Chains A and B, each alone.
Chain A
C-alpha cells in the first residue's frame, strides 16, 4: 500500500508503546546513526534528549539570527520557546525541519541532531526529515482542497494510494484533533468552509497524519479566540503522549499551561532553559523574570 519502507515502519508502530517506537525507529535507520546516538555526550542537559542543538549559529546573509544556542529537547514532552519578537524563535524552530532551506543565502554553524542523526548533514533526505518533523504554522493554511484531501495530502506525497487504509488514517487523525464529529459528514467539501479554530485543528490533523516524531508549532493559537485556543491547548496535552512537541508562543499563560520545559531567548541567544515550573517560579536570570512578568521593554 505504501511505497516507502519508512511508512511501513510508521504504520506498524502505530499501536506500540512510545518507548519501543524510538528504539525501533532507530533500528530502521542507518547503522552509523545508531553509533552516533550511542556516543557519549557530556552536555546532555535532559534525560534521553531527542532533539539536540549544540552551539548553533545561524545567519541570514550578514545578520546573525541565532548565537551559540545549545539545548536538548526531551521526547514526549512539550517544550516552549518564548522571547520577545525577533529574538529568533521561529528561526530556531524552522531549523528542526530545515524549512530555512527555502530561504536564500543562509548559513548555519554548529550541530542539530534528531535521534542522534545530524539534521544538516548531506545524506539527509529533506523530505524524509520533514515527514519525521511535522509543522503547524501561525496562521492556519489549509490547502484549497477537500477536508479529506487536506489530511491525506502528506500520505499521498509519501506514496499512499486511496483505499480503506487511507480512509482509516484520515479518520484517526481527525479524531485525534477532535474534528471528526464536526466534519465527518462533509469530508468532500472544501476546507475553506471551516471556521473558527477548525482550520487550525485541520492543519494539526494534516501534520500528524504522516505520523511524525516531532511536532513543531509556531504560535499556533495567535490567530484564534480563547475558546478555540483552549481546545488546541487541550489537544497539545494529548499529543505529547505520542509526539515530541516544540511550541513557540507569546502567551506566557499558555507556555506555563502546556509546556514541560521552557526556553527563553533574547536577541538570538538562549538565555535560560529548564523545567517550566522552574522558569516561571524561580528563574535564574533577571531578563527572564522581567520578560515573563511583562516588565520587559
Chain B
C-alpha cells in the first residue's frame, strides 16, 4: 500500500509528465535538425572543391577524379574478409561514357594527388579531369605543357568568357525581344489576311515584317562576328593519355584543386553558390543554377498569397460575423476544415479541369482567338497554378482567420457599437485591424504549404525548363499565361527524372536547402511584421 502511494506521488509531482513532453519536443528537434544538417552537408558540401586523386590500378589503368564515397562491399560477394570500394567522379563523359565509376580498393595500387591535375567545368558534357597539354589560338600553339602557360590561359579565358557573356546577353535580350515582335506581327498579318482587310494595312504590316527580318539578319551577323572571335582551344591529356581539344568558349571554370590554398577553395565555393542561385540551369538541369526556379517559386507563392488572403479573410468574416450561426454554418465549417485533407493532386485535377480547360479555354475564345489553335490561357501557366494553390490553402487561411475572430473579445466590438459605430464600421476599423496578426499567421501556414507543393503544379503549369521568366521586358511585362519553373518540381525532376542521377544528387540537396531557405525567408518577414504589429499596435505600424 505504501509502495502504491509513493508511486502516486511521483506521478502527481508532475516530473514524469514534464520529462515526457520535454522528450517529445527534443525528439522532434533532433529529427528536424538532423534533416537540415543532412540536406545542407550534402547540398553545399558538393560546392566545396574536392582534391583530385590519381588512382593507379593494378591493371595498369589510371583513373583521375574526385573520391566521392567509400563503402563496404556486401560480404556475400567476396570472401568473408571486409573489403571496401570507392566511388570516383572521373568526369570526361564524352570519352568514357559515364561520370562515375566504382573501384574495389583491392585493385588500387597507389593513390596520389598530383598538383598539376586540372579540373575543367564545361558548359556541356560535365567536368573534365586531366592535365593541360597545349594552348592553341587560331591553330597556333601559344603555350605548351609546363612552361608557365597558366598566365596566358587565364588572360585568354577571361577575354573569351567576356565575349560569351556578351553573346548570351544579346541572345537573351535583343534576340528574344525581336522574336517576340515577329511573333506578334505574324499573328497580326494572319488576322488581317483572314479579315480581308485593305491591302494598304496589310502591305504596311508586311513592310514592317521585312524590316524586322532585316533587323534579325543584322543581329545574326553581329552574333556571328562575335562568335568568330572565339577561337582559343585548350588541348588536354586525360588520365588514359587520350588528347582532348576543349574550346575555351565551352569552359565555365578551370582550376587546379590540389594546388589551391584554403582561401582559394573558399572563394571558389562562394562563386559556385552564387552561380547556383543566380544562373540558368545547364545540362538538363543537373548543373548550373536554379534562378528561374527560384523566380517561379517566389512569384507563384506571392500570387497565391495575394489571391488567397482576401478571399479567405472575407469568407471567414462572413462565416463568423454575418452568417446566422446554425447547423448550415457548422456544416460549412466542417466542410472547409476537411478540405484541408483533400490530396493536393485532386486540387490539381480540379485546377486543370476548371481553371485551365474551362476558364482558360473561354478566355482564349473570347480574347485570344487569333492565336488559336495555340492556347494562351487554355494551357497550364503560372496564373492557374497560383489559383490552384490558393484553393488548396484556402482552408488554412479561413481557419486561422476564424480563430482570430473568435479571439477578439466581445467587449471590443461592444465598445465600438456603444460609440455609434455600425457593424460595417466596427468590422473595418476594429475587427480587421485586430485580425491582422491572425491573418498573417494564416498566410505563414499557407506559404509554407504552398511552397513545398509539387503534385498539383505538375498538371497546372510547371515545366522542367521554361524558355523565359513570367516577368520580362516585353510588353505587358507580366506574362501570367507563361509556364514556369519551380524548386519543388526541380527537386523531383533532377532527382528522379535525370539521366545522370549520381551527378544530379548534390543538386537535389542544394535545391532543397534553397527551398527551405526561401520558405524561411518569406515566413520570417511575415513573423517580424506580426511581432512589430503586436508590439506597436496597428496604427503605430501602419
Residues of A within 8 A of B (CB): 97, 99, 102, 126-131, 134-135, 137, 139, 141, 143-146, 149, 153-154, 156-158, 188-192, 203, 206-207, 210
Give chain B's interface residue range (CB within 8 Å of chain A): 20 to 34
Binary A-proximity of B513-542 (CB < 8 A = 1, otherwise 0): 000000000000000000000011111100
Q: Do B420 and A144 have beta carbons less than 8 Å apart?
A: no
Partner of B411, one of A130, A139, A189, A192: A139
- Cβ-defined contact, A146 with B417, below 8 A: no
Q: Which residues of B contact A145 (CB under 8 A)?
A: 433, 537-539
Residue of B nearest to A149 (CB): B539
Q: Which of B415, B422, B425, B540 contacts A141 (CB 8 A)?
A: B415
**Cβ of B35 < 8 Å from any Cβ of A?**
no
In the bound assembly, the distance between CA atoms of A146 and B539 in angstroms comes to 6
Contacts of B536 in A (CB 8 A): 190
Give the distance in Å from the alpha carbon of A255 to the alpha carbon of B430 in the complex.
33
User: Residue on B with the closest CB to A136?
Assistant: B418
Complex interface bits, B198-233 against A, C-beta within 8 A gives 1, otherwise 0: 000000000000000000000000000000000000
Question: A143 near B415 (CB under 8 angstroms)?
Answer: yes
Other-chain residue from B414, B430, B540 in contact with A137 (beta carbon distance below 8 A): B414
Check B411–A134 contact: CB distance below 8 A.
no
A157 touches which of B411, B412, B414, B419 (Cβ 8 Å): B419
Q: A144-B537, A145-B433, A190-B537 are in contact. Are A127 and B416 (CB under 8 A)?
A: no
Inter-chain contact A207/B540, CB cutoff 8 Å:
no
Q: Does B421 sit within 8 A of A, measured CB to CB?
A: yes
Given contacts A102-B414, A141-B409, A141-B412, contact A153 B419 (CB under 8 A): yes
Tell me if A207 and B419 are in contact (CB < 8 A).
yes
Asked if B414 and A144 make an inter-chain contact with CB atoms under 8 angstroms apart, the answer reads no
Q: Tell me which residues across on chain B come within 8 A of A143, comparing CB atoms.
A: 412, 415-416, 430
Q: Please, how many angstroms separate the alpha-carbon atoms of A99 and B420 in the complex?
A: 10
Closest Cβ–Cβ distance, residue B538 to chain A (whole Å): 6
Which of A102, A137, A139, A210 interacts with B420 by CB under 8 Å? A210
Residues of B within 8 A of A126 (CB): 420
Chain A residues with Cβ below 8 Å from B416 are: 143, 153, 157
- Check if A99 sits within 8 Å of B409, measured CB to CB: no
Residues of chain B with a CB closer than 8 A to A146's CB: 537, 539-540
Taking Cβ atoms with an 8 Å cutoff, the residues of B that contact A are 409, 411-412, 414-422, 425, 429-430, 433-434, 535-540
Contact of A130 among B409, B420, B433, B537 (CB under 8 A): B420
A248 nearest CB across to chain B (Å): 14
Asked if residues A137 and B421 are in contact (CB atoms below 8 Å), the reply is: no
Across the interface, do B433 and A134 meet the contact criterion of CB distance under 8 Å?
no
Assess the A141–B419 pair: CB atoms within 8 A. no
A163 smallest CB distance to B (angstroms):
17
- Are B415 and A137 touching (Cβ within 8 A)? yes
Q: How many angstroms from the CA of A157 to the CA of B422 in the assembled complex?
A: 9
* Known contacts A127-B420, A134-B419, A158-B420: A192-B412 contact under CB 8 Å: no
Output the least CB separation between B258 and chain A (Å). Answer: 62
In the complex, A203→B412 CA distance in Å? 11
Q: Which residues of B contact A137 (CB under 8 A)?
A: 411, 414-415, 418
B534 to chain A, nearest CB (A): 9
Chain B's closest residue to A206 (CB) is: B419
Question: A127 vs B419: C-alpha distance in the bound complex, in angstroms?
Answer: 8
| Cα of A37 to Cα of B349 in the assembled complex, Å | 70
The answer to whether A134 and B418 touch (CB under 8 A), given A141-B409, A143-B430, is: yes
Interface centre among A102, A131, A144 (most CB of B within 10 A): A144
Mostly helix, strand, loop or mixed at chain B's interface?
A: helix
CB <8 Å contact, A157 and B421? yes
The chain B residue sitting closest to A132, CB to CB, is B420
CA distance A99 to B419 in the complex (A): 11
27 interchain pairs (CB within 8 A)? A97-B418, A99-B417, A102-B414, A126-B420, A127-B422, A131-B419, A134-B418, A134-B419, A135-B418, A137-B414, A137-B418, A139-B411, A141-B409, A143-B430, A144-B537, A144-B538, A149-B539, A153-B416, A154-B419, A157-B421, A157-B425, A158-B420, A188-B540, A190-B537, A190-B539, A190-B540, A207-B419
Instruction: State the CA gap A137–B409 with chains docked (Å).
Output: 13
* Cα(A189)–Cα(B535), bound, Å: 10
A97 closest partner in B (C-beta): B418
Complexed CA–CA distance, A151 and B425 (Å) = 16
User: A157-B421, A192-B537 known; 16 other A-B pairs, CB under 8 Å?
Assistant: A102-B417, A127-B422, A130-B418, A130-B420, A137-B415, A144-B538, A145-B433, A145-B538, A146-B539, A149-B539, A153-B416, A190-B536, A190-B537, A203-B415, A206-B415, A206-B419
In the bound complex, do residue B420 and residue A157 qualify as a contact, i.e. CB atoms below 8 Å apart? yes
Min CB distance A205 to B, Å, is: 12
The interface residues of chain B lying within 8 Å CB-to-CB of A97 are 418
- A189 cross-chain contacts in B, Cβ below 8 A: 537, 540
Q: Whole-angstrom distance between the alpha carbons of A68 and B107 in the complex?
A: 108
By Cβ-Cβ distance, the 7 closest A-B pairs, closest first, are A190-B537, A154-B419, A141-B411, A135-B418, A130-B420, A127-B420, A131-B420
Which A residues are CB-close (under 8 A) to B535? 190
> When chains A and B are docked, how far (Å) is the Cα of A157 from the Cα of B434?
17
Complex CA gap A157/B418 in Å reads 11
Residues of A within 8 A of B429 (CB): 153, 156-157
Q: In the assembly, what is the distance between CA of A145 and CA of B433, in Å?
A: 9
- Asked if A141 and B537 sit within 8 Å, CB to CB, the answer is no
Asked whether A130 lies within 8 Å of B415 as measured between CB atoms, the reply is no
Q: Which residue of A lies closest to B419 (CB)?
A: A154
Which residues from B are CB-within-8-Å of A192? 537
Q: How far is the CB of A106 from chain B (nearest CB, A)?
A: 15
Q: How far is the CA of A210 from the CA of B430 in the complex (A)?
A: 18
In the complex, what residue of chain B is closest to A146 when comparing beta carbons?
A: B539
Give Cα distance in the complex from A154 to B535, angstroms: 24
Report Cα–Cα, A99/B411, bound state, in Å. 12
User: For residue A141, which residue of chain B has the nearest CB?
Assistant: B411
By a CB distance below 8 angstroms, the chain B residues around A154 are: 419-421
For the complex, what is the distance from the CA of A153 to the CA of B412, rounded to whole Å? 12
Q: How far is the CA of A188 from the CA of B418 in the complex (A)?
A: 23
User: In the bound complex, how far is the Cα of B415 from the Cα of A134, in angstroms?
Assistant: 10
Nearest CB in chain B: distance from A132 CB, A: 9
Minimal beta-carbon separation of B98 from chain A (angstroms)? 64
CA distance A41 to B39 in the complex (A): 86
Evaluate whether A99 and B418 lie within 8 angstroms (CB atoms) in the complex, with A144-B433, A153-B429 already known. Answer: yes
Neighbouring B residues of A203 by C-beta, 8 Å: 415
Q: How far is the CB of B17 from chain A (nearest CB, A)?
A: 34
Q: How far is the CA of A146 from the CA of B535 in the complex (A)?
A: 11
How far is the CB of A153 from the nearest CB of chain B, in Å?
6
Q: How near does chain B come to A159, taking the closest CB pair, in angstroms?
A: 11
Bound-state CA distance A203–B540 (Å) is: 19
C-alpha gap A215/B418 in the complex (Å): 11
In this complex, which of A102, A139, A143, A206 has the most chain B Cβ atoms within 10 angstroms of its Cβ?
A: A143
B528 to chain A, nearest CB (A): 18
Contacts of A127 in B (CB 8 A): 420-422
Say how far B411's CB is from chain A's closest CB, in angstroms: 4
Q: Which residues of A are found within 8 Å of B537, using beta-carbon distances?
A: 144-146, 189-192
- Report the minimal beta-carbon distance from A45 to chain B, rounded to whole angstroms: 27
Shortest CB distance B33–A (Å): 36
